């Protein structure tokens, strides 16, 4: 059974907003006292926050589908619906949030950082909120919009000050157990450590965290031996401690060759943009297992060559704890200098400039797409798509209100410019989720100038009023018909079919 998970895919669905209410206030002696329908409540959002108490993504591995509460419906007597309860998901510090395509959305690298991954749906307005001086009693309300539904990938990258790197069975787990209160699994076979272990070291005034990274082998930067899964936990560390095995019995291996292999793998691993390459970070070397007779002799033999390369070398034993005090103080001094350097960088960090949205930026765009019966015009934009989701298409007045809203942001003029004519197919929304309309330009006249019963819109009704030309043609047809009837009667009289009584 898995006890540590550092990669997981989550399926999020934020709560949808509640529908607005259509209601008319009725009291004694006031049968129609005006609209009183309340607004629907907003749906709950889903938020990730970095929690220092979390160490693994295991809970999301077992339960990958998460959803927040819906918003409540509006009710009469101006009662608004309740707001859906948001869902806060704790993740370990160092978690990276990516979308389904692998694009990074957020890096929760500090405790308390929050990221809203899925926004809750917006509650619909009730008819009381839609009323104005010209539309005094709306017979419709807006529907709540659905909440965001998406797939995200969580990846944990351990945040520690020092990372212990080295070959399998080099003694990294024993070292972290000897220096801190961590209790990793320790055994005498390779790849005992299958996930990073964190520990806190207190050396006099120095306090820092260390991470025991699972063993690396040649080809780790290319994925061999799960190397990529292990190397990503080194990205966040400020310094590296190379733990070299001076008691190995494997033929062809020695501390120098082990170090060269590990350095090549660290050099080949690409770090994210803006981060310091792994080999440019401070590095120390610990020659482990000097409690063995051959181990101390080998450590004394390779130490001069390592120091010639510029490394600071410590001979240690995790069994007898020899050399651990000096090593812990040296790591503390190294981390303290790194923290001071980072604080200096933060002091001169450039100010973040917030740029407002351009005034002339359009709320929508129109794409002309081909079709079997002429061009199709697709309207894309946050506002039009949200307005369509809020419209009750079973209510004619709500459809007329949608047409008015689209006209006010210039959709009517843009369709004319794009070449649309009456009867053209217009789609609002992307892909197959879009709503298809047969465009009628006459629907965009101001609804406030029309007088219709609640819940109806006269612009959607068939206009049976005849024009002046039609009335003139009808009059001439009636006059011609009367003349033809008189002529027929005269012919019958002259033929003796009937006669006038004297």
List the Cα angle 370/375/376 in 5-degree steps: 85
Question: Nearest Cα to 377, choosing from 440, 448, 425?
Answer: 425
Please state, as a whole number, how many other Cβ atoms lie within 10 Å of the Cβ of residue 92: 21
Residue numbers belonging to the annotated binding site for GTP: 166-173, 191-195, 212-215, 288-291, 317-319
3-state secondary structure 198-229: EEEEEECCEEEEEEECCCCCCCHHHCHHHHHH
**Residues annotated within a binding site:** 166-173, 191-195, 212-215, 288-291, 317-319
* Sign of the four-CA dihedral 237, 178, 190, 315: positive
Beta bridge partners of 312: 284
What is the C-alpha separation between 268 and 237, in angstroms, rounded?
17
- How far, in Å, CA of 5 to CA of 93, rounded? 14
**What are 152's strand-pairing partners?**
10, 99
Distance, CA of 430 to CA of 420 (rounded, Å): 19
Contacts of 129-134 with C-beta under 8 Å, sequence gap 24+, read 129/20, 129/39, 130/20, 130/35, 130/401, 131/34, 131/35, 132/448, 134/448, 134/449
Strands 7-13 and 365-369: unpaired
Closest alpha carbon to 303 in 319, 320, 317, 286:
286
b/e 40-55 (16+ beta carbons within 10 angstroms → b): bbbbbbbbbbbbeebb
DSSP-assigned letter for residue 374: S
Query: What kind and span of H or E run contains 299?
Result: helix 293-308
Residues 6+ apart with CB under 8 A from 289: 171, 245, 246, 247, 295, 317, 318, 319
Distance of alpha carbon 399 from alpha carbon 134, whole angstroms = 17
d(Cα 75, Cα 128) in Å, to the nearest integer? 11
DSSP state of 142: P
Q: Which residues contact 86 (CB under 8 A, 6 or more apart)?
A: 44, 45, 46, 47, 68, 69, 120
414: enclosing H helix or E strand = helix 411-418
- Complete DSSP assignment for 314-349: EE--TTT-TTHHHHHHHHHHHHHHHHHHHHHHHHTP
CA distance 200 to 113: 22
Known binding residues for Mg(2+) are 173, 193
């Amino acid at each position: 059974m898995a006890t540590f998970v550092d990669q997981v895919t989550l399926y999020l669905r934020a709560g949808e907003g509640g529908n607005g209410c259509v209601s008319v206030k009725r009291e004694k002696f006031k049968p129609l006292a005006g609209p009183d329908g309340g607004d629907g409540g907003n749906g709950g959002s889903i938020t990730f926050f970095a929690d220092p108490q979390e160490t693994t993504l295991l809970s999301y591995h077992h339960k990958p589908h998460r959803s927040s509460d819906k918003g409540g419906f509006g009710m009469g007597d101006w009662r608004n619906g309740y707001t859906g309860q948001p869902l806060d998901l704790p993740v370990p510090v160092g978690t990276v949030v990516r979308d389904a395509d692998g694009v990074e959305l957020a890096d929760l690298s500090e405790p308390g950082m929050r990221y809203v991954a899925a926004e809750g749906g917006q509650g619909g307005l009730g008819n009381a909120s839609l009323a104005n001086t010209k539309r005094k009693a709306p017979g419709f309300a807006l529907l709540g919009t659905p909440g965001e539904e998406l797939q995200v990938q969580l990846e944990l990258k351990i945040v520690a000050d020092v990372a212990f790197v080295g070959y399998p069975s080099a003694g990294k787990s024993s070292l972290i157990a000897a220096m801190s209160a961590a209790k990793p699994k320790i055994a005498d076979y390779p790849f005992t450590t299958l996930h990073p272990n964190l520990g806190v070291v207190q050396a006099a005034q120095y306090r820092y965290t260390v991470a025991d990274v699972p063993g690396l082998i040649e080809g780790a930067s290319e994925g061999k031996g799960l190397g990529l899964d292990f190397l990503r936990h080194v990205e966040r560390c400020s310094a590296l401690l190379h733990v070299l095995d001076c008691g190995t019995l494997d033929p062809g291996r020695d501390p120098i060759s082990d170090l060269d292999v590990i350095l090549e793998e660290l050099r080949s691993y690409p770090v994210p943009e803006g981060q310091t390459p792994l080999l440019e970070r401070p590095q120390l070397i610990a020659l482990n297992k000097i409690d063995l007779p051959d181990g101390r002799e080998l450590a004394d033999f390779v130490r001069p060559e390592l120091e010639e390369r510029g490394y600071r070398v410590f001979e240690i034993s995790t069994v007898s704890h020899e050399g651990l005090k000096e090593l812990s103080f040296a790591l503390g001094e190294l981390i303290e200098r790194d923290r001071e350097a980072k604080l200096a960088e933060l002091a001169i960090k450039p100010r973040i400039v917030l740029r407002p949205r351009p005034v002339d930026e359009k709320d929508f765009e129109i794409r002309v797409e081909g079709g079997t019966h002429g061009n199709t015009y697709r309207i894309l934009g946050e506002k039009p798509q949200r307005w369509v989701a809020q419209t009750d298409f079973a209510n004619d007045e709500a459809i007329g209100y949608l047409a008015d809203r689209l006209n006010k942001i210039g959709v009517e003029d843009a369709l004319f410019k794009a070449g649309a004519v009456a009867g053209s197919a217009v789609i609002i929304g992307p892909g197959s989720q879009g709503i298809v309309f047969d465009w009628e330009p006459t629907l965009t006249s101001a609804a406030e100038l029309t007088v219709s019963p609640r819940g109806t819109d006269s612009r959607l009704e068939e206009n049976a009023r005849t024009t002046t030309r039609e009335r003139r043609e009808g009059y001439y047809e009636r006059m011609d018909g009367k003349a033809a009837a008189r002529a027929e009667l005269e012919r019958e009289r002259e033929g003796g079919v009937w006669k006038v009584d004297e």
